[in-house]
Structure 1
Amino acid sequence: MKNDNQIFGIRAIIEGIHSGALIDKVFIQKEAQGDLMKDLMKAIKANNVNFSYVPVEKLNRFTSLNHQGAVATISPIAFHDLDTLIEQTLESGKTPLFLVLDQLSDARNFGAIIRTAECVGVNGIIVQKQGSAPVNGDTVKTSAGAVFNIPICKVDHIKDAVFHLQSCDIKTVAATEKTEHTIYDIDFKVPVAIIMGNEERGVNPSVLKVVDEKAKLPMYGTIESLNVSVACGAFLYEVVRQRLL
């Protein structure tokens, strides 16, 4: 059984994967077993489909029908190829501005970031296939439809995307508290990709080791951190400010 953006049931999801449906993420019941579930996992891994294990209660919130321990969400958008997008951006003559989201997990934060990114003219958003927030109804709604106007690329590993951006002379700047530099110390007038981290742990330490620069927002209150979508907005508008000068 399925609705507009979900597929319920193991066989239906397997068929969806094999038929090339734009499956964004598969939610699988924790400790689910059986030969059919093994077949599903083979299809997921063979096609590098994003998945996560969840309690049965979450699956029951998706549907009251017999989901058999698995629900898949279908992406409302087609994802872009990173190589092609970078090439097109460089050929456009505009100063590139990319946004890399290192396993951001909340769909509403994702949508809010997409909305801001579209408003400031970000050329593309890069996310990791595994462990990232899905592009679902919450994402679309929170983005106010901006998700349909900005290219989004999925990559196997964020670190590989960083290396690729650097090879194209695009500076990579990670948002992190683990630095003495603020965003006002960074030159954003050059081609740049800003990397925002997961809501809980921030940018992965292995990614921090390979970026060109690190920057933080100055904080003067008692709260130690901002919501990631708010912090992202501050970074992006510093880029806008510098490029308007």
Structure 2
Amino acid sequence: MAKQDDLVFGIHSVSALMEIAPERFVELWLLKGREDDRILPIINLAGKYGISVQFMHRKALDDKSAGEQHQGVIAKVKPGKAFTENDLSDIVEQTLAKNEQPFLLILDGVTDPHNLGACLRNADAAGVQAIIVPKDNAAKITPTVRKVAVGAAETIPLVQVTNLARSMKALQEMGVWIIGTAGEATQSLYDCKLKGPMALVMGAEGKGMRRLTRETCDELIKLPMAGSVSSLNVSVASGICLFEIVRQRLV
């Protein structure tokens, strides 16, 4: 039986991955009798790329998905490339070679797969070149992450590093300015200059960034909070911050 990490669930996730990397598909399992307008494009793409398709009863798909919402579509795929700290300099250099400014997102201690999936989606929409996470105590790419990310898990490199602070220092040596978000910061997001090569650091909801991560940042900012709520979900906060950077870069 396929491991969960080898499976992709849902219409959007499967179709997005098939468009991006059809060579990774091993097999496609579809709900028997379902050939509507949402499924037919997937069937046609599978035929185009020579991907094996099996039609199954719902119980068989439910058993394969182990409780995940599959929408009648499950794909067995080969693992994607695993990115490590050794890839960071290449990502920055390739970005500069295209005359673009490095734009990175660092997540410290984000363990919820739904949050990671939503952050990947935010990052893809904002034009981020990579997300950097610690190897330990952080969510990994799972079927849930892929489903929430709606294809972004395949387009945005998720770089897993052994020592986050050390990797941040390596980025600083490459000219990347690192902005961290912290409730105790005195400067608002909207008062900060957010142009040039940049990495945004988001900590886990509640705990925030770890001490060493915070101390390694070049600058700390906060979101102005007007109500009684003291913090936002990390994926919501990352979306706000990322698109403020995008806005300033367009001005």
TM-score normalised by length of structure 2? 0.68
1:154 aligns with 2:136: no
Partner SS for 1:110: helix
| 2:10 aligned residue | none
Partner SS for 1:174: strand
CA distance in 2 between partners of 1:100 and 1:172 (Å): 9
1:126 aligns with 2:132: yes
Q: Against the structure 1 CA distance between its residues 199 and 75, is the aligned structure 2 distance closer, same or farther, given a 3 Å change threshold? A: farther
Q: Against the structure 1 CA distance between its residues 202 and 76, is the aligned structure 2 distance closer, same or farther, given a 3 Å change threshold? A: farther
CA distance in 2 between partners of 1:87 and 1:179 (Å): 31
Q: Match of 1:146, as an amino acid?
A: A
| 1:136 aligned residue | 142
CA distance in 2 between partners of 1:4 and 1:107 (Å): 14
Unmatched 5+ stretches in structure 1: 7-61, 64-73
CA distance in 2 between partners of 1:127 and 1:79 (Å): 12
Superposed CA offset, 1:148-179 (max 9, x none): 11122111011011101100111000011111
| 1:96 aligned residue | 102
CA distance in 1 between partners of 2:202 and 2:133 (Å): 10
CA distance in 1 between partners of 2:132 and 2:78 (Å): 15
Show the 5 A alignment for 1:47-196.
76-80=79-83, 81-196=87-202
CA distance in 1 between partners of 2:132 and 2:158 (Å): 6
Superposed CA offset, 1:50-77 (max 9, x none): xxxxxxxxxxxx97xxxxxxxxxx9943
Question: Runs of at least 4 residues of structure 1 off by over 2 A?
Answer: 1-6, 74-77
Contact 2:205 2:232 (8 Å CA) reproduced: no
Unmatched 5+ stretches in structure 2: 7-64, 67-76
Deviation at 1:145, TM superposition (A): 1.1
CA distance in 1 between partners of 2:133 and 2:212 (Å): 16
Partner SS for 2:92: helix
CA distance in 2 between partners of 1:137 and 1:4 (Å): 7
TM-score normalised by length of structure 1? 0.70
Show the 5 A alignment for 1:8-19.
none
Among all aligned residue pairs of Structure 1 and Structure 2, give the percentage whose two residues are the same amino acid: 36
CA distance in 1 between partners of 2:164 and 2:190 (Å): 25
| 2:5 aligned residue | 5
* RMSD, aligned CA: 2.0
CA distance in 1 between partners of 2:89 and 2:231 (Å): 34
CA distance in 2 between partners of 1:4 and 1:113 (Å): 21
Q: Against the structure 1 CA distance between its residues 185 and 76, is the aligned structure 2 distance closer, same or farther, given a 3 Å change threshold? A: farther
Q: Match of 1:193, as an amino acid?
A: A
Superposed CA offset, 1:104-124 (max 9, x none): 100000000100100110011
CA distance in 2 between partners of 1:120 and 1:102 (Å): 19
Q: Which has the higher helix share?
A: 2
Q: Match of 2:232, as an amino acid?
A: L
CA distance in 2 between partners of 1:79 and 1:215 (Å): 31
Q: Against the structure 1 CA distance between its residues 220 and 136, is the aligned structure 2 distance closer, same or farther, given a 3 Å change threshold? A: same
Partner SS for 2:216: coil
CA distance in 2 between partners of 1:138 and 1:5 (Å): 9
CA distance in 2 between partners of 1:222 and 1:185 (Å): 22
Partner SS for 1:5: helix
Task: Say which is worse superposed, 81-90 or 216-225, in terms of deviation.
Answer: 81-90
